[in-house]
Amino acid sequence: MIRTACPLDCYDACAITCDPSYPTRLVATPTHPTSNGALCALLNKHMHETPRIEKPRVNGEEVSMEVALDAAAAALSQSPLLQWRGSGHLGVMQSVTNLLIAKLGGTRTYGSLCDGAGQAGILAGRGYNRQLPPEQIAKADVVVVWGRNLTVTNSHIMPYIKGKKLIVIDPVQTRIAKQADIHLQIQPRSDFMLAIMLARFVAMENAEDEAWLEAHAEDFEDFYEFTQEFRMVQALRDIGIDTQQVGDVLSLLLGQRVVFLVGAGPQKYSQGHAVFHAIDSLAAALGLFGKEGCGVSYLGNTTQGFENPFKIDVDEVSIVTTPFEKFKTVLVRGGNPAGSMPCTNKVVSSLKQVANLIYFGLHENETSFLADIIIPAKTFLEKEDIRLCYGHHYIEDMHKVVDSDIGISEYAFVAAMFERLGLEGLESEQAYLKIWRDQYATANDYAVLPDYEETPYREGFGEGSDEKFVFVDEYEDDFDEEVEEGGYWLLSPKPSKSLNTQFVRGEQVLLSPSCGFQEGERVRVYSTYGEQQFDVKFSVDLREDCVVIYAGSIGLNKLTPPLASEEGEGACYQEVKVSVEKL
């Protein structure tokens, strides 16, 4: 039996045991702490059923891999050169292409389509983002699910929250919201105000954790004053809740061991960093850091704490507003910018100006259709790698299970380019894997991230655990002036059958049944940035001021703004209102 792990961009990072005689039969490793003996349909069905790119292509013609690699080498030697990296496979060896970009004097992207704004907010308060181990979640009395769609995106966490009091904060009545003791179905983009108002009520009731604040945080009184700068009646109205609901939430939270599971939803906005800083500030007021059964969980930065052999120091451009047109050659590795970046119309016209667009991936998508050179990747079963995880701290080595004539691994691609371009200094694949493996820490007999702490922030904040928590103390928001009044908030949570733009992609817009359209009707959805047609599907789970178009739906990002968060260079997919019109 061979051990590997699911490569997909997912909180769970399930460990897999494979019988090489039946390489398509993937079984969850029974002894793994979080895989719970089950893999999901994304991996076991949809990935398996989605056709992969089998043959390399150059200018639309199928060619041998050797010819395609020659063409890629010729293209990569032309500058200016850019690498745009996606997150189609989360193994560390994906980033070996960085070494090639550095050798060739190329540029790469910074920022994030995913969690950048939230990460910036966490760093502002805590100085360092330590992952909350699931074992601490299991010890909580109360779990606050704050904009994370657990049953769809993080299903392996469900056993850890069983039997707990549950508060869900989400504009959509998700499956987990239906199971909750309290569901605050708030207006989108009002999380900052909600966190601030909750913190203010905590202070008004003198319920803050004084001893902890004294030892571990900067001046709480200043923060309390900051929360008083906002008008309460107006704030609660904007959020869409009343004082009774605030009281109900506080009565569940006070004096309990509480964990916040915060997801990507509340930070897809220009002020996403402030939202997360405010949520952390609320948690700090309650003294929820550094204690058993308490904490705030978000997506972790997995390579943090490692000496990363693929770290490079080169010029960078934003991944949210990438100016592709400035580059002669662009290498897209493991991603689909023409589908996943905001403001598709702008992205596509920019990509079309690139002389040599190289797409290195597994599946056809909007970007492969635009590419001049297509290099098929190997699947995770066909190469060696290491799976770090943003949802828990366990590490899994990914061993090769089968051989295949199709595609090329990222390491082999880089080696082929070094050879063709006469570059030197590439170590062996095993040497790089060893550099990573030599840095693992161990906990519960498992390999874990080097900066793993059983109870994060017990000693203090910052990388050296010798700093204090810093409360949020500013908020400037000019969004209301920019938005068209009367449109619907465009929410794009993750769907169950696709993984971003991979696998079974939607073509529906979900609307409240009171919207005045017919179910099944084809409508035009438009924003300042573009338009796309979708089929109407009714959902009683939505507020009347929202539509849902699942992330990964075809054409969704024609509607989204080419805008990065004010801190953290995160994409602001939901900083937009849309209109819906009959055809």
Ligand X SMILES: Nc1nc2c(c(=O)[nH]1)N[C@H]1C(S)=C(S)[C@@H](COP(=O)(O)OP(=O)(O)OC[C@H]3O[C@@H](n4cnc5c(=O)[nH]c(N)nc54)[C@H](O)[C@@H]3O)O[C@H]1N2
φ/ψ of 189, rounded to 5, equals 65, 20
The Cα–Cα gap between 162 and 100 comes to 47
Q: Is 136 in the site for ligand X (CB under 6 A)?
A: no
> Could you say whether residue 90 binds Mo ion (CB under 5 A)?
no
Q: What is the dihedral of CA 509, 187, 185, 112, to 10 degrees?
A: 70
291 or 387, CB closer to ligand SF4?
A: 387
Half-sphere exposure of 343 toward its Cβ, with a 13 Å CA cutoff?
20
Of the pair 13, 195, the CB lying nearest ligand SF4 is at 13
8 in contact with ligand SF4 (CB under 6 A): yes
Close Cβ partners of 360 (under 8 Å, ≥ 6 residues apart): 97, 331, 332, 333, 334, 375, 377, 410, 413
Q: How far is the CB of 238 from ligand X (least distance, A)?
A: 12
Residue 12 interacts, among ligand SF4, Mo ion, ligand X, none and using kind-specific CB cut-offs from 5 to 8 Å, with ligand SF4
Please report whether residue 386 would count as binding ligand SF4 according to CB under 6 A: no
Count of residues interacting with Mo ion (CB under 5 A): 1
Residue least distant from Mo ion (Cβ): 114
Closest CA to 44 of 87, 10, 86: 10
Q: Which is nearer to Mo ion, 114 or 246 (CB)?
A: 114
* 3-state SS, residue 417: helix
- Give the range of 23-31, 113-121, 205-213, 522-530 binding Mo ion by CB under 5 A: 113-121
**Is 466 exposed, middle or buried, given 0-12, 13-18 or 19+ CB atoms closer than 10 A?**
exposed
Among 83, 98, 297, 340, binds ligand X (CB under 6 A): 340
Part of the chain binding Mo ion (CB under 5 A), chosen from 108-116, 119-127, 221-229, 233-241: 108-116
- Residue 14 or residue 65: which is nearer to ligand SF4 going by CB? 14
Contact status, residue 16 vs residue 40, Cβ threshold 8 Å: no
- Residue 39: name its binding partner from ligand X, Mo ion, ligand SF4, none (Cβ under 5 to 8 Å by kind): ligand SF4
**List 33, 34, 42, 81, residue binding ligand SF4 (CB under 6 A):** 42
Q: Is 86 in the site for ligand X (CB under 6 A)?
A: yes
Tokens 């438009």 sit at which residue?
526
Contact between 114 and Mo ion by CB under 5 A: the answer reads yes
Q: Which amino acid belongs to residue 328?
A: K
Among 4, 14, 46, 279, interactor with ligand SF4 by CB under 6 A: 14
β-strands 488-491, 577-582 pairing: antiparallel
Q: How far is the CB of 335 from ligand X (least distance, A)?
A: 3
Stretch that binds ligand X, among 5-13, 159-167, 314-322, 505-513 (CB under 6 A): 5-13
Indicate the DSSP class of residue 93. Answer: G
Q: Tell me the H-state helices in 205-271.
A: 210-216, 220-227, 232-239, 243-253
Task: Using CB under 6 A, list all residues that contact ligand SF4.
Answer: 6, 8, 10, 12-14, 39-40, 42-43, 155-156
Task: Using CB under 5 A, list all residues that contact Mo ion.
Answer: 114
